[in-house]
Structure 1
Amino acid sequence: MVLKNRLELRLQQRLALTPTLRTRLSILRMGPLDLAEEIAREAARNPFLRHEPPSRMSAAEALPEADLAAPDLGFQEDLRRQLALKPLSPMIAALAEFLVGELREDGFLDVELRILAAEIVQPEALLEQALEVLQSCEPPGIGARTLPECLQLQLVAKGLDAGDAAATVWQLPAFAKRDWPVLKATLGLDENALRARANLLRGLSPRPVPERPLSEAAPLRPDLRLERYSDGQFAIVPHMSARPTVMLDMAMVRRAETEGFAPDLLLRAKTLIDAVDQRGATLARIGEWLVRAQGMFFLQGPEGLVPASRADLAAELDLHPSTISRAVSGKAIDVDGRLWPLAMFFSSALSGPHGMISSRAVKKRISDLIAAEVKAKPLSDETLVEKLSAEGIDIARRTVAKYRQGLRIPSSSARRKLAHARGTEKPGG
């Protein structure tokens, strides 16, 4: 047998989701308070880091020592603990933990897997496997991409197999009408079984993670600030006093370079600082875009909003769409002392008197019309449609109803009853 040397080129797919990338993506998604807590925790165990908390955080707002020792990190940390107990390959474990960081506050995953796969250079099939693992965690429905999927996952957790769960959710309209003949024909169950299935449906939640009461919600802090100048111009700048400062302890770095100790901790420190710097740079670019794209908002308020999407911003800044989603999530801008979530600058478009108009501007107009109505004769949704149409805004009644409900404004009949009840109250009663 003759042995021959041969040179081969092989393409191998490596896990691109390195600890450095995970840190960068995680830091970008954090709001100022979460960022300050994360930096404080890391500095407490990393001798190469020095940090200063946000200057606007008073002593009363500072976290007590007990919280620093065992902070309540919410459902994400609980998911990470659950994942750590599962027998997973390193790749699937890393991808599942990555997906945890992509979840919204309500537990939904609103970024398409194909987009995430392209961003981290991994096969979409692997992300599907990681998502399946994540969706097997508690609470049921976690990681769902749609409401039907959320409900299906909860039904599976209650004992149905995946096929029965999907078929049941598909028949939700029939269950709502208690249309037993149709349900018998489609699901092949008798009425007793169907009633038991209906009871299961009544116990489901539309959100994987319940919304926290306002009293428990974390206060919003700004990352950006509007700065107005005497000539009428304005700019959006970083809100430096509301963000923590983190830096290397250069004395420790020089010692490490001389003695060669703890290189992994030094790398972690540098990675964290780079991630914080990149987060700030990304938000600064978004601020510059807001001046260009939404300048009328800063002059007129919500009525000046123009339609814009996260995809528009991603294309203009040459960033990945999921990068924009992370950067916007949980962030706010200080405009003349009032905080506005960055998410409110992105909305769909409706036809208006001078071209397209932001749906958020339409919501503001609906709110103003209702605020000015005669309380004893509240405006119906049909009347609101007529008034908006007279102003050149093309909108359907069901859209008005949806926007009104989103503003948490009761229907006209409910507002009329409330006005009547208030009118019949006796003074001092």
Structure 2
Amino acid sequence: MALNPRLELRTQQRLALTPELRTRLSVLRMTPAELDEALAAEAARNPFLKRNAATAVGAATGLDPLDWVAAREAPFQDDLRRQIERMGLDPRREAVALHLIAELGADGFLDVGTDELALELGLPEALIADALASLQSCEPAGIAARSVSESLVLQLVAKGMATREAQATVRLLPDFARLNWSAIQSALGVTLGEARARAALLRTLSPRPLAPGESPRAAPLVADLRLVRDESGRLAIVPSHSAHPSVQLDQTLVRKAEAEGFAPELLARARAMLAAIDQRGLTLARIGEWLLEKQTGFFQRGLGALVPSTRQDLAADLGLHPSTISRALAGKALDVDGRLWPLSTFFSAALPGRDGPLSARAVQRRVAEMIAAEPETRPLSDECVADQLRAQGVDIARRTVAKYRQGLHIPSSAMRRRLAADRRRE
């Protein structure tokens, strides 16, 4: 059979990682403070944008201006972008890597999978994986990891260990914790001295890519949404406009630009930014409507009436991708009667209860209330708290109570007893 070269013309529809799409996804993840910074920076270099600084987020927080400046330190993403830009990557790979930087959480973890991003962006998963590998080669070691174990592996690789050896070492963490030297020696094929040296190396690692001291200081929490109660008791969740600076197109300059054909790229950037802000507001408004429908009991009776729900439930009901929901919830808050609640508060796992599933957060609240009401001289053990909750119809194990107590930063019963004794002696 003869092989002859030929040309074919094909029409194919696909979603590309366009600048407009990157802007939309990046703006959706931004907190009000980050959005204010981004708009200030864009308005400073884009003459088509007019920004009303009087409504900037800093003015809405009630902070001293010096405190506000201190709370808005340059994010670590800037350094990562500079590292990526110096690598000389293929333009598509560099564009995806820069997009991944915007997806990182404050602790440096990447909380969305490459498969999800490939589906959402319409790009080959192999391209996203290659871009992620480039980002994970940046400093600090462990950046853009998707789990603690992956972060530890990346840190070991940065210290000169081969990837497979690093993965094998991390899989043996339980044995290192138990000082099970024989199992470690057998699995890794090392001597006892080498196993002990490996343990010492593990102790130098950090469970998170960015330690608290390395992360940018958290900006003050500002509400994107606000609960409104009218005189009849009817509830509504509306945008909190004080959280968003006012920005608009300079229509006079737009008309001049369209007539004379100058700076079309800047005009396109300005329109993309405004469209992204509108899309962000629409998405948050839909989330507010969903919360009002699902969590009416919370708004009427408090945290104890929180209904168990997940981000996957929200994504399915709104017809959005889970990674879109993750971006929309990150760093956002709802103002309920003057108290700010992070949107993440409204999503928790369900625990079996006598009268139906209970929100894990509502059970955490019960644990805190029970410990707060305990006799000072006879603090409740985790098992006692679990027994009382089971008597109330909550199917819960002692270890779950211990996990909730630790998450609430409440000392153990033995420590609470010692602290009470110290107070009595004072």
TM above 0.5, yes or no, is yes
Structure 1 pair 244/301, CA: closer, same or farther in 2 (3 Å)? same
Q: Which amino acid aligns with 2:234?
A: Q
Q: Does 1:58 align with 2:59?
A: yes
1:10 Cα deviation after fit: 2.7
Cα distance between partner residues in 1 of 2:165 and 2:387: 45
2:159 pairs with 1:158 = yes
Distance 1:128 1:297, change over 3 A: same
Cα–Cα, structure 1 residues 304 and 213, in superposed 2: closer, same or farther, change >3 Å? farther
Aligned partner of 1:282 in structure 2 is 283
Of the structure 1 ranges 214-223 and 270-279, higher mean CA displacement relative to structure 2 is found in 214-223
Q: TM-score w.r.t. structure 1 length?
A: 0.93
* Alignment length (residue pairs): 418
Matches within 5 A, 1:269-308: 269-308=270-309
1:327-366 CA distances to partner (integer Å, 9 max, x unpaired)? 0000001000000000111111101121001101111111
Give, in whole Å, the separation in 1 of the partners of 2:272 and 2:317. Answer: 27
Alignment RMSD (CA, Å)? 2.2
Q: In structure 2, what is the Cα distance between the partners aligned to 1:224 and 1:103?
A: 23
| Higher deviation after alignment, 137-146 or 205-214 | 205-214
Q: CA deviation at 1:62?
A: 8.1
> What is the 5 A alignment of 1:78-157?
78-157=79-158
- SS of corresponding position for 1:74: coil
Q: Percent identical across equivalent pairs? A: 56
Q: Is structure 2 residue 28 aligned with structure 1 residue 31?
A: no
Residue 331 (structure 2) aligns with? 330
Using the alignment, how far apart are the partners of 2:78 and 2:177 within structure 1? 36
Alignment match, 2:47:
47
Change (3 A) 1:198 1:139: same
Cα distance change on mapping 1:154 and 1:373 into 2, 3 Å: same
Deviation at 1:403, TM superposition (A): 1.0
Q: Note the alpha carbon deviations across 1:52-83, whole angstroms, 9 max, x for none.
A: 2436633985877xx79xx7331111111110
Show the counterpart of 2:246: 245
CA offset digits 1:237-278 (Å, max 9, x no partner):
000122111100011111111221111111110010000111
Q: 2:43 and 2:149 mapped to 1: Cα distance?
A: 42
Which amino acid letter does the alignment assign opposite residue 116 of structure 1? L
Q: Specify the SS of the correspondent of 2:131.
A: helix
Cross-structure match for 1:410: 411
Contact 2:73 2:217 in 1 (8 A): no
What is residue 19 of structure 1 aligned with on the other side? 19
Which whole-Å CA distance do the structure 1 matches of 2:312 and 2:116 have between them? Answer: 12
SS in 2 for 1:225: strand
Q: CA offset at residue 377 of structure 1?
A: 1.1
Which shows bigger deviation, 179-188 or 135-144? Answer: 179-188
Quote the Cα distance in structure 2 between the aligned partners of 1:163 and 1:214: 29
Secondary structure in 1 aligned to 2:296? coil
Q: Is the 8 A contact 2:73 2:216 kept in 1?
A: no
Distance 1:386 1:27, change over 3 A: same
Aligned to 2:354: 353
**Cα offset, 1:134, TM superposition:** 0.8
Structure 1 residues 212-221 or 39-48, which shifts more? 212-221
Give the CA deviation at 1:7.
Answer: 8.0
Structure 1 outlier segments of 4+, above 2 Å: 6-15, 53-64, 211-217
Distance in 1 of aligned mates of 2:123 and 2:358? 39
Q: In structure 2, what is the equivalent of residue 171 of structure 1?
A: 172
Structure 1, residues 138-175: CA drift from partner, whole Å, max 9, x if none? 11111111111111111111111111111111111111
Return the offset for 1:197: 0.7
Residue aligning to 2:425: 424
Give the whole-Å Cα distance in 2 for the aligned partners of 1:152 and 1:134: 15
What do the CA deviations read for 1:85-130 (whole angstroms, capped 9, x no partner)? 1121011111111111111111111212111110000111111111
Q: Distance in 2 between matches of 1:156 and 1:149?
A: 11
Q: Give the residue type in structure 1 aligned to 2:273.
A: L
Whichever residue aligns with residue 361 of structure 1, its letter is A
Counterpart-to-counterpart distance in 1, 2:20 and 2:145: 27
Q: What TM-score do you get using the length of structure 2 for normalisation? A: 0.94
- What residue identity is the alignment partner of 1:268? R
Q: Structure 1: any 5+ residue segments left out of the alignment?
A: none
1:137 match: secondary structure: coil
What is the alpha-carbon distance in structure 2 between the residues aligned to residue 294 and residue 412 of structure 1?
33
Which amino acid in the other structure matches residue 320 of structure 1?
A: H
Letter in 1 for 2:137: S
Kept in 2: contact 1:332–1:342 (CA 8 A): yes
- AA aligned to 2:35 is L
Give secondary structure in 1 for the equivalent of 2:59.
coil
SS at match of 2:352: strand
Contact 1:15 1:91 in 2 (8 A): no
CA contact (8 A) 1:348 1:358 kept: yes
List gaps (5 residues or longer) in structure 2.
none
The separation in 2 between residues aligned to 1:132 and 1:79, in whole angstroms, is 13
